[in-house]
Amino acid sequence: TEFGEPVPECSQPVKVTASSGEKGLSVFFEFTPEKNAGDMKCKIKVPVLKPEGWPPLEILVSASIAGTVPITPVLPVKDKEEKAIPEKKTSVAVI
């Protein structure tokens, strides 16, 4: 099977590249959110050059973008007995 260059149709700017190897086609997707919050939707079409007449592959990518984390430092909060409460750390996962 021979493939053409991927063509992205996305709601935000993305970079899409592809390479063919012994194990098949690899498609690489790069995205940096421009907005603080919202949704990103992307359809990537990869033309099938050989065999002729085959429809393009379609890859769908979507993401929910949360607001940005404040840059101001967070000081530890103290309870009624004036003991410092350990800072809470937050991690973000993109699924």
pLDDT in tens, 51-92: 999 999 999 998 887 765 555 555 555 555 555 445 444 444
Q: Which residues of 48-66 are buried (b: 16+ CB within 10 A; e: fewer)?
A: beeeeeeeebeeebeeebe
Give percent of the chain with pLDDT exceeding 70. 66
Q: Does residue 33 contact residue 17 with C-beta atoms inside 8 Å?
A: no
Edge-to-edge strands, sheet with 7-10: 7-10, 38-46, 57-65
Q: Rounded CA gap, 93 and 81, in Å?
A: 35
pLDDT exceeds 90 at position 9 = yes
Give percent of the chain with pLDDT exceeding 90. 36
Tell me the average pLDDT across 12-31. Answer: 88
